[in-house]
Chains A and B, each alone.
Chain A
Amino acid sequence: MAHPTVAVLERHLTLYKRLWRASLFSSFLLPLLFLVSIGLGVGGYVGTVEGVSYVEWIVPGVLASTAFQMAVGECTYSVLGEFKWTRGAHAMFATRVSAWDMVRGWMLYIVFRVEVAAVVFLAVVAAFGVLASPWAAVTLVVVGLLAVAVAAPVSAFSASIDHDSYFALLFRFVMIPSTLFAGVFFPVEQLPALVRPLAYASPLWHGVELCRAATLGVAPPWPVWVHGGYLLAFGVAGLWWAAFSFRKRLQD
Chain B
Amino acid sequence: MFGLVAEHQPLIHARGLVKRFGEFTAVDGIDLDVEPGEAFGFLGPNGAGKSSTMRMISCVSMPSAGELRILGMDPVREGPAIRARLGVCPQLDNLDPDLTVRENLTTYARYFGLSRAQARERAEEMLDFAQLRDKASSKVEPLSGGMKRRLTIARAMVNEPDLVLLDEPTTGLDPQARHLLWERLFRLKQRGVTLVLTTHYMDEAEQLCDRLVVMDGGRIVAEGSPRSLIESYASPEVVELRFGSEPLEGFVERLSGVGDRVDVLPDRILLYAKDGDDAVSEVHRRGLAPSSVLVRRASLEDVFLHLTGRTLVD
Pairs A–B under 8 Å by Cβ, sample size 8: A7-B111, A7-B113, A10-B107, A15-B98, A91-B95, A251-B62, A252-B61, A252-B62
Among A4, A10, A86, point to the contact of B94 (Cβ < 8 A).
A86
Main secondary structure on chain B at its contact with chain A?
loop
Complex Cα distance, B103 from A15, in Å, reads 10
Residues in B neighbouring A15, C-beta threshold 8 A:
96, 98-99
Tell me, yes or no, whether B60 is within 8 Å of chain A by CB.
Answer: yes
* Cross-chain contact of B83 among A6, A86, A94 (Cβ < 8 A): A94
Asked if A95 meets B84 with Cβ closer than 8 Å, knowing A1-B113, A15-B99, the reply is: yes
Q: Which residues of A contact B (CB under 8 A)?
A: 1-2, 4, 6-8, 10-11, 14-15, 18, 86-88, 90-98, 250-252
Instruction: Indicate if the CB atoms of B88 and A94 lie closer than 8 Å.
Output: yes
Top 8 A-B pairs, shortest CB-CB distance = A87-B94, A96-B84, A95-B111, A7-B110, A94-B88, A1-B113, A91-B94, A96-B80
Could you tell me the distance between the alpha carbons of A12 and B84 in the complex, rounded to whole angstroms?
21
**Complex interface bits, B89-120 against A, C-beta within 8 A gives 1, otherwise 0:** 01011111111000100011011110100000
Q: Which B residues touch A8, using CB under 8 A?
A: 111
B5 to chain A, nearest CB (A): 17
Give residues in B with beta carbon < 8 Å to A.
Answer: 21, 55, 58, 60-62, 79-81, 83-84, 86, 88, 90, 92-99, 103, 107-108, 110-113, 115, 159
* Neighbouring B residues of A96 by C-beta, 8 Å: 80-81, 83-84, 111-113
Residues of A within 8 A of B88 (CB): 94
Contact between B110 and A10, CB atoms less than 8 A apart: yes
List A contacts of B94 (CB < 8 A). Answer: 86-88, 90-91
Beyond the given A86-B95, A87-B94, A93-B60, could you list 9 further A-B residue pairs with CB under 8 A, ordered by the A residue number? A2-B113, A6-B110, A10-B110, A11-B107, A14-B99, A86-B96, A96-B81, A98-B79, A250-B60
A96 to B93, CA, bound (A): 19
Closest residue of A by beta carbon distance from B58: A94
Question: Given the known A-B contacts A96-B80, A96-B113, A252-B62, are A18 and B98 also in contact in the complex, defined by CB atoms under 8 Å?
Answer: yes
**What is the bound-complex CA distance between A15 and B55, given in angstroms?**
28
Contact of A94 among B60, B81, B98, B110 (CB under 8 A): B60
Q: How far is the CB of A77 from chain B (nearest CB, A)?
A: 14
Tell me, in angstroms, the Cα distance from A44 to B20 when the chains sit together: 67
Given A1-B113, A97-B111, residue A88 in contact with residue B60 (CB < 8 A)? no
Q: How far is the CA of A1 from the CA of B159 in the complex (A)?
A: 13
What CA separation (Å) do A92 and B108 show in the bound complex?
8
**Complex Cα–Cα for A191 and B94 (A):** 49
A10-B80 Cα distance, complex, nearest whole Å: 19
Residues of A contacting B115 in the complex (Cβ-Cβ under 8 angstroms): 1-2
CA A5 to CA B257, docked complex, whole Å: 68
